[in-house]
Amino acid sequence: MTLKNRIQDDMKDAMRAKDAARLSTIRLLLAAIKQREVDERKETADADVLSIVDRMMKQRKDSIAQFEAGRREDLAAVERAEIAVLQTYLPAQATDAEIDAMIAEAVAATGAAGPAGIGKVMAILKPKLAGRADLASVSARVKARLG
């Protein structure tokens, strides 16, 4: 079963359970997936769905920061609930040790040295860690290692 099919099944379950908050979040996710399919004129793969989920989670985190700055805890709580629903579709998060091992592998494979090699290393790490780690923090680790 593809990730998209799993999301569609979860939407049906949320409808049956009359879970309005979960249903709303899943519908937003399916709309984003459909939009990508229409824009690119192709069926989305699991990797594409993961990138959509990751992007939606980043948007929610940015919204939480804005709502907290504006002292709107009620709206921030809604965004946190949406993040909880979206997280169920992401694979298990990579541990720090796993990330460090992957960085070491990628550096060895590319022979990268210095800041010029960051792009080469990240090109190898991005598909492996998509949805499993925050790529911005991975990039910072790579920069620290090569810098």
Q: What domains can be seen in the chain, in order of their start residue?
A: 3-87 (1.10.1510.10), 96-146 (1.10.10.410)
Q: pLDDT tens-digit profile of 2-40? A: 999 999 999 999 999 999 999 999 999 999 999 999 999
DSSP designation for 114: S
pLDDT at 131 over 80: no
Q: Give the pLDDT band (50/70/90) at residue 54.
A: confident
pLDDT for 134: 81
Least confident of 11-20, 50-59, 104-113: 104-113
Q: Residues 57-83: what's their mean pLDDT?
A: 95
Tokens (6 digits) for 124? 């190898």
The whole-angstrom separation of Cα 141 and Cα 147 is 10
pLDDT of amino acid 118 = 87
For the chain, the average pLDDT equals 91
Tell me the whole-structure pTM to 2 decimals.
0.77
Residue 127: band (very low, low, confident or very high) from pLDDT cuts 50, 70, 90: confident
CA nearest neighbour of 25 among 6, 10, 37: 10
| Nearest residue to 129 via CA among 89, 97, 102 | 102
